[in-house]
């Protein structure tokens, strides 16, 4: 089962964990990303291209399912304005055993950081700036090629 959601509403961890656990696997690995308050960031706003973003996330999830025997691959990503401490992304991979679930979870977050078309803008006080993917994001994604 693959589940993809790009949403403005807050990520409900309990709902997403229940979805992952319902897949009936022996292992559930998850990652939850939070908006950081680096250097006084007050707001992080994500924009996306509807349709293209979901398609890119689906391709990432399908890549995980093709590499590992998974019961589920779940990606939930927020868009719109968010503040430090809010959940920005949740990924889960479920498999019969922890090794596959853990590796697939890492793959999901590593690949979506560079493969999904999101545009990030940080606001500090009265100034805002666009944020590019970091070199370590590209390095993490490249390890799966």
The DSSP line for 48-96 is E-TTHHHHHHHHHHHHHHHHS-EEEEEEEEE-EEE-TTSEEEEEEEEES
Q: Give CA 74 to chain center in angstroms.
A: 9
Rounded CA-CA distance 14/76 in Å is 13
Q: How many CB atoms lie within 10 A of CB 143?
A: 9
**Which residue from 1, 28, 9 is spatially nearest to 17, judged by alpha carbons?**
28
The pLDDT of residue 24 is 86
The pLDDT of residue 132 is 75
The pLDDT of residue 16 is 95
Homologous superfamily (CATH) of 2-142 is Molybdopterin biosynthesis MoaE subunit (3.90.1170.40)
Each of the 145 residues of the chain gets a pLDDT tens digit; together they read: 999 999 999 999 999 999 999 988 899 999 999 998 877 788 889 899 889 999 999 999 999 999 999 999 999 999 999 999 999 999 999 999 999 999 999 999 999 988 888 898 888 888 777 777 777 777 777 777 8
The pLDDT of residue 129 is 77
The pLDDT of residue 108 is 96
Cα angle, residue 116 at apex, residues 134 and 73 outer, rounded to 5°: 110
DSSP 133: P
Q: How many CB atoms lie within 10 A of CB 82?
A: 19
Q: Under a CB-based contact definition with an 8 Å cutoff, are residues 87 and 46 in contact? A: no
């Amino acid at each position: 089962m693959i589940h993809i959601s790009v949403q403005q509403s807050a990520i409900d961890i309990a709902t997403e964990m229940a979805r992952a656990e319902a897949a009936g696997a022996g292992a559930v690995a998850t990652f939850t990303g939070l908006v950081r308050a680096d250097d006084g960031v007050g707001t992080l706003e994500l924009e996306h291209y509807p349709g293209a973003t979901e398609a890119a996330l689906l391709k990432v999830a399908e890549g995980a399912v093709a590499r590992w025997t998974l019961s589920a691959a779940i990606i939930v990503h927020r868009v719109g304005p968010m503040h430090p401490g809010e959940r920005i992304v949740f990924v889960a991979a479920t498999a019969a055993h922890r090794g596959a679930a853990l590796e697939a979870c890492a793959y999901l977050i590593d690949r979506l950081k560079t493969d999904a078309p999101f545009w990030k803008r940080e606001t500090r006080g009265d100034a805002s700036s666009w944020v590019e993917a970091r070199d370590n994001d590209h390095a993490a994604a490249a390890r799966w090629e």
